[in-house]
Structure 1
Amino acid sequence: MQLGVIGLGRMGQIVVSRVLAAGHDVVAFDLDEEAVATAAEAGAQPAATLDDFLAQLGDQKRIWLMVPAGDAVDATLAELNPSLTDDDIVVDGGNSFFKESTRRAEECPAAYLDCGTSGGPAGAELGFSLMIGGPEWAYDELTPVFDAVATGPAGHDRMGPAGSGHYVKMVHNGVEYVLMQAYGEGFDLLANGRYDLDLEAVARTWNNGAVIRSWLLELCEEAFAEEGNDLGDVADYVAGGSTGTWTVQEALEQEVPVPLIYQSLAERFESRTEERFARRLANRLRYGFGRHEVARKND
């Protein structure tokens, strides 16, 4: 299968490399020429312009967008749409708001798949978890590509109609906030409690058979190993918050109580005014799974 990929940042490059490794062909485009060159070195066919990109894809276009959510998606679609037909497929693999994905699906001439993507840069080796919304025929058509990008056939599924993939990913991120907050608060108490504990050893022990073992807990162990028991100069500043905000807003609209997600979101916002060990750990964990920049105390 031939896949066109637009957006060759960290996540886009991973999509390219995993699709190539599965034996498919990739045409790669980005406004950054160096990013295109990197994809070409991996084996992709480089495209110098968007017109060149579209020409290389031929009559039936299968396009994966990995551009930042928001205006960049709309700007890219504005250039693509005149060249697309209902035989084509567009995948939005970014963290778009599900209502925007629904609108884009209605406006796009091609079949539009909103693809919530979880796993961060670690997915380069393991593969991603993909939550996909949109037409069933388009999902079935791209199943070989999803198998390649995900951890395998069990690592992706069609959630439902347009918008449902990004909806599920939105709630996923809300849950993620809570889990990070829970680990943060537990280690906050251990760090400031009555015993002088090796927090790396605690995390390692919990990760071997304990009920609360998880990848996030493995990242806690990694954080203490690399930053030290007191997290060194990691600042109490937890960036992000858009997907958590969307989750809380949707919960209010649907009248579904989500007090833990709400409180975890509030903790992120409060991290900009008052210091807590729990939020410093959450700051470092975002680097672990997403390679997000770690705010430092001297920044």
Structure 2
Amino acid sequence: MQMGLVGLGKMGGNMRERLREAGHTIIGYDTNPELSDAEDLAAMVAQIDREPQVVWVMVPDRVVDPVIEELSGLLGEGDVIIDGGNSRWIHDSPRAKKLAEKGIEYLDCGVSGGVWGITQGYALMVGGDETTVAKVQPIFDSLKPAGEFGFVHAGEHGAGHFAKMVHNGIEYAIMQAYAEGWELLEAAGHVTSVRETFNSWREGSVIKSWLLDLAVNALNEDEHLDRLAGYAEDSGEGRWTVEAALDLAVPVPAISNALFARFASRQDEGPAMKMIAAMRQQFGGHAVKDAAAGPEHVEAGPGEDPAHPAEQ
């Protein structure tokens, strides 16, 4: 296929490369001219010479609507816009209806995979009409991991971003559990190697996971996480998950407690937050605070500009 891709940060840039390696023609646009294949959105769309014209938007939630508004003036009947960022699901149905007035089709797609997706593939959760999904299926098939799983047509407009929101809420809770366990092991003087204890859980244990692998990666780089401050940001999805749970009267104590723990980390440094920060840097390339350099110093993740944090 041919496709335009707006936003070439760590996620978008890696997605462009994975799709190109799969044989697709991807025309990328980014406000950073060193990354961009076109000088502006109009020039990007002009290079998509097959119908339907498909554009994937991979930008922060705060700028999705202006980008889609501009694209809606450049695309036409039967063309497709995909919002693949961490957008709030309640915005998807109104966007779809507004675009439908111009005959433009819309999909919302939650994307998980962080900086590793370029080689491991991305988990994709899509919301929208089945006929529109079918138009873009070759792109989804190339982005997802090899094998049976990694892609779901989750439902109608908003379902993709809702599923990704819940995914990220679960991620908060799992990370918090690992972090609290790490802090407890560190506090126990008779456990001689916390790193090797974590490492031993990676095979045969019921709590083995990719996040555990990434925690061990972080401990291999900094065994006691001495270089990290116990401070962890939240990128929005945890808050939205808790808000949705309140609206639906669904108890989510583990997810809500993990979110509140991050809030607490910004007031008084907690050792467990060092592990949260370490895992976030490992899977998403998120910036971290250097414990030695003071609270104003931010260390970028792999390939990251501290002024432009990771999308995921």
TM range (shorter): over 0.9
CA distance in 2, matches of 1:66, 1:135: 20
SS in 2 for 1:159: strand
* SS of structure 2 residue aligned to 1:32: coil
| Paired residues of 1:199 and 1:221 also in contact (CA < 8 A) | no
Give unmatched runs, 5+ long, in structure 2: 298-312
Q: Residue 231 of structure 2 contacts residue 270 of structure 2 at CA under 8 Å; is this kept in 1?
A: no
| TM-score, structure 2 as length reference | 0.89
Mapped to 2, the partners of 1:120 and 1:169 lie a distance apart of 13
SS in 2 for 1:57: coil
Aligned residue among 267, 278, 289 for 1:284? 278
Q: Corresponding residue for 1:76?
A: 67
Match of 2:308 in 1: none
The one-letter amino acid of 1:27's match is: I
8 Å contact from structure 1 (residues 171, 247) kept in 2:
yes
| Residue matched to 1:116 | 110
Identical columns (%): 39
Aligned partner of 1:197 in structure 2 is 192
Structure 1: unaligned runs, 5 residues or longer: 37-45
2:42–2:74 Cα contact (<8 Å) kept: no
Aligned amino acid, residue 5 of structure 2: V
1:47 and 1:187, CA in 2 relative to 1: closer, same or farther beyond 3 A? same
Deviation at 1:54, TM superposition (A): 1.6
Deviation at 1:197, TM superposition (A): 2.4
Aligned counterpart for 1:64 among listed residues 56, 64, 78:
56
Deviation of 1:48 after TM superposition, in Å, equals 2.1
Aligned-residue CA RMSD in angstroms?
1.3
Task: Show the counterpart of 1:4.
Answer: 4
- 1:53 counterpart (41, 44, 53): 44
One-letter amino acid of the structure 2 residue matched with residue 185 of structure 1: E
Q: Deviations over 1:51-103 (max 9, x none)?
A: 21121213521111111122x11111111112223411111110000011222
* CA-CA distance at 1:149 after TM superposition: 1.1
Residue from 176, 183, 186 that aligns with 1:181:
176
Question: For 1:146 and 1:269, how far apart are their aligned partners in 2?
Answer: 35
Q: Which residue of 1 aligns with 2:221?
A: 226
State the alpha-carbon separation in 2 of the partners of residues 128 and 272 from structure 1.
Answer: 31
Runs of 4+ in structure 1 deviating by more than 3 angstroms, as ranges, are: none
Aligned amino acid, residue 255 of structure 2 = I
What CA deviation, in whole Å up to 9, does each residue of 1:4-42 have, x standing for no partner? 111111111111111111111111212211011xxxxxx
Indicate the residue corresponding to 2:230 in structure 1.
236
1:23 aligned partner: 23
Q: Tell me which amino acid in the other structure corresponds to 1:238.
A: A
For residues 275 and 202 of structure 1, what CA distance do their matches in structure 2 show? 24
The amino acid of 1:77's aligned partner reads I
Structure-1 residue corresponding to 2:305: none
Deviation at 1:129, TM superposition (A): 0.3
Give 2:249's aligned residue.
255
Q: Which residue in 2 is equivalent to 1:41?
A: none
Aligned to 1:245: 239
